[in-house]
Structure 1
Amino acid sequence: MSLKAKLGRLKGHMNLPQEEHPLPVAEQQVIQTEPLEIPFLEKWTENDTHVYKMEDEYCFIREVHYDMDHQHGIYTLHDAKKAVEAWNEVDYSHPLSSKGIQAEEMFFFDTETTGLGGGTGNTIFILGYAFFTDRGVTVRQHILPNPGAEIPLYQSFLEKVNYNTLVTYNGKAFDWPQLKTRHTLIREHVPKLPQYGHFDLYHASRRLWKNDLEKVKLINVEKNILGIERQDDMPGYLAPYIYFDYLERKDPKGLFGIMKHNEIDVLTLITLYTHLSVQLLQKEGSDLSSYEVARWYLGLGEKETAIKAYNKVLEADNAVQRISALHALAFQWKKNREEEKALNAWHKVAEEGILKEQIEACIELAKIYEHSQKNYVKAIQVTQNALSLFPPDQKEKKAAADLKWRLVRLSKKAGHTKE
């Protein structure tokens, strides 16, 4: 039977009800009578893989090594190490900051599973991660040879990993919760799953590039942001089918393609962390996402860093982002009592900004003219301008209603209405 036909026949395994999945681990251990008779062991060995034995059970561990000058996309692995060092030189905070840790302590983690859903019916069969060493970067993968071998799989994993600084792509929502779910099935047999730190690069990528990418999937970020082109890659969605085929035939040939796919994934996490760090640290090579970086820092309360990022946007070529940055800076100038700078900025935003910014700028101008400069005529003018910008179907909304009341109040102050 061809591999394609077997994958089609095995496809149904992905959605089996829970009672049809393999027996609990304890029962499987009884069933396995000769676990160390390893089929196709020579093929495993030829693919950088060795056997991890634990009593009468085993799993596979594969290791490959890269030199620091290895280029993955637009950065080398050495660039990644420099990015971590750069975080240790700044005095501001950020959720992706690696200040206080070294590159060797970071753990770039991804899994391959039999499905995208959660719960005990979904099995992790590859735990893959990359980490820095004194010689370069090592990619290590723990591979489940059969559904009854989860104890050595997780035992070997917990012996090796640095789980205090976990770096994933949407791992908070999938990889680590899934790992914890599987761990509960064997928690009496392996050490307690530890607490961990977590850098989730998905949320950072979405914040910076959601307007540039149709979908912020890792494969899209790779191609469009990081300059990574996969060659002869095994698509991730085939992973469950190929694993089920391996379980039936025991020949790991197809599985090696999924292992290579996972290897690229964890290397990409290093490149992505490097690129995000370049943006967030405002290093040479950072791009127009500086506007989103500035917004992020402002939301975190890091005002000085945010203002620096906004000023960088003012020097860029993107006219829309320049006006948006000017709008944001005007609020800071108002708070700092730099009134003339704020007025000049908001007049420009009122003319050139997007509709929402134009309305907001007119409202802020009205506030300054009314309360600070007592220039009610100008306050009336900019308030009328703001009202004129509202689309017809929004004329009765609260914001527009508030502006109408402002006009009434301003008219009274200016003496334009009879008492």
Structure 2
Amino acid sequence: MKPKLSQWKELLAARHKRKTESEESKGEAGEREATDVPFADVWREYGVKPYWFAGDYCLIRETVHPLDYERGRYRLGALYDVHRRWQEAAFSHPLSCRGFSVGDLFFFDTETMGLSSGAGTVMFLLGHARVLDDRVIVRQHVLPHPGAEVALYQSFLSDVDYTTLVTYNGKAFDWPRLKTRHTLVRDLVPKLPAFGHFDLYHAARRLWKDKLDSLRLAEVERHILHIERDDDVPGFLAPMIYQEFLQTPHPERLMPVLRHNEHDVLSLIVLYVHLSMQLLEAAQLSDPREQLAAARWFEAVGETAAARCVYEQASGKEAKEAEAAKWQLSLLHRREKRYEEAAAIWRDLFDHGSGLWKVKAGLELSKAYEHHFRNAAEAHRYAAMAYEAWRSLAEASRQGIEEEQEWRKRLERLARKKNGVGK
């Protein structure tokens, strides 16, 4: 508790500094930079400048990359191609940037003192990237000591002009913690603006949860974006490195973390590009798992036409996912009351599918023949065959007593209907 209480003490001291101090500090900036910022000359060599506000300062580092800078599979400038395609896309989607300019997208990542969501979790680095007409600018706001949060958030909030936030797990982690820390200094700095939010972690989870063992950004970089980081500091070491920096605030101690954060925000740009391409070209994807996941996402957001197109493409592949694609397509047909097309798929799954698909397709055929085609004999025939397929699976797993009763009730009812005896 002592370190946290110390941080609060420093923060309260900053709050009570006289209001005119920020104006006075403007005339003293050059002198104070030389005398009050430890290792100011070394920071300057790294392109880092102090930002003074309310009698304290934070540090700002800015790096510039050309649009043809390659990171893994893509150039940073590929964002412009994706942006154009989203404007022309025949479907809407939560990941679409339609209606926004490229410069509106604000790629944002933070480094914190821990994973806790409480007010005691200090955010010591706020990094963001913007893609402009001719370059990409990465800007990082660094907390030199825990008492300087007023200056940190003033520099961050006065610097950014954004409409849409792009993060990796930012909905659950970065932004809630930023809001929590901002609450402590909200009387002294600008308000947090409202914003949209593209959380690429949730997009990655939808598309690759069955493909990757881990969805950490580093794993997505390696396996999906083909990015290999050489001599990079693991993110989990950042809090420890910052603690050491607070003891001896030499820039060389913290620069590895700044470079790590810079790589993170640049990766967000190419990850957004790749995820967008997965959706814009879903029907042409070579991986049936990704294709099926994209189609399911389209269906989940109500883009039935796009989902149907991708399901149709996936169902023609020689892969186990083809059966799942056929099944999903049949359910779309059923929902749209296109029973003939749905039944054709169910017959195909029943005749050529594996045991589970045979059971599911046989049951749907039984229902369709009973309630839509009004053919009790066919309904009973498919129910009986589906029951035999189900029983083979149930015996192998030694489960299904309750389902056994449901199957028998269905068969008895259909037998009576077939024979014209009641329902």
Which TM-score applies when normalising by structure 1? 0.89
Is the Cα contact below 8 Å between 2:283 and 2:291 reproduced in 1?
A: no
Q: Is the 8 A contact 2:278 2:294 kept in 1?
A: yes
Say which SS state the counterpart of residue 172 (structure 1) adopts: coil
Structure-2 residue corresponding to 1:10: none
Residue of structure 1 in register with 2:187 after alignment: 188
Does the C-alpha gap of structure 1 residues 416 and 283 become closer, same or farther in structure 2, counting only changes over 3 Å?
closer
Q: Residues of 2 paired with 1:68 and 1:285: CA distance?
A: 27
Alignment of structure 1 residues 19-418 onto 2, 5 Å:
19=5, 21-28=7-14, 36=33, 37-282=36-281, 286-288=285-287, 289-317=290-318, 319-353=319-353, 356-388=356-388, 389=390, 390-392=393-395, 393-397=398-402, 399-415=403-419
Distance 2:282 2:299 in 1: 18
Task: Return the offset for 1:35.
Answer: 6.6
Distance 1:349 1:283, change over 3 A: closer
CA displacement at 1:25 relative to structure 2: 1.1
Q: Report Cα offsets for 1:120-161 as digits up to 9, x if no partner.
A: 211101000111112121111001111111111101111122
Give the deviation of 1:26 after TM superposition: 2.6
Deviates more, 1:158-167 or 1:279-288: 279-288
Distance 1:119 1:108 in 2: 24
User: Structure 1 residues 410, 161: closer, same or farther in 2, change over 3 A?
Assistant: same
Higher mean C-alpha displacement, 179-188 vs 28-37: 28-37
1:385–1:216: structure 2 CA closer, same or farther, 3 Å change rule? farther
CA shift at 1:278, angstroms?
0.6
In the alignment, structure 2 segments of 5+ residues that lack a partner are 26-30
Q: Render the CA deviation track for 1:250-298: whole Å, top value 9, x for unaligned.
A: 1121210000100111111111111110111126874431211111111
Instruction: Give the 3 Å change call, closer, same or farther, for CA 316–40 of structure 1 in structure 2.
Output: farther
Return the offset for 1:334: 3.3
Range moving further from structure 2, 24-33 or 49-58: 24-33
CA-to-aligned-CA distance 1:325-374 (integer Å, 9 cap, x gap): 11111223334454443223112223454655433211111112223334
Q: Which amino acid aligns with 1:344?
A: A
Q: 1:337 to 1:248 in 2, by over 3 A?
A: closer
Q: 1:184 to 1:304 in 2, by over 3 A?
A: same
Check 1:354–1:129 CA distance in 2 against 1; reply closer, same or farther (3 A cut).
farther
- Calculate percent identity across the aligned residue pairs: 41
What RMSD over aligned residues (CA atoms) do the two structures have, in Å? 2.6
Bigger fraction of residues in helix: 2
User: Is residue 232–residue 260 contact of structure 2 (8 Å, CA) maintained in 1?
Assistant: yes
- How many residues align? The count is 403
Which piece of structure 1 moves more, 303-312 or 229-238? 303-312
Comparing 371-380 with 320-329, greater Cα deviation is found at: 371-380
Cα offset for 1:316? 3.8
Q: Which runs of 5+ in 1 are unaligned?
A: 1-14
Distance across 2 between alignment mates of 1:109 and 1:46:
25
Question: How far has the Cα of 1:315 moved from its partner?
Answer: 4.2
State the TM-score, normalized to the length of structure 2.
0.88
Structure 1 residue 28 displacement after superposition: 4.7
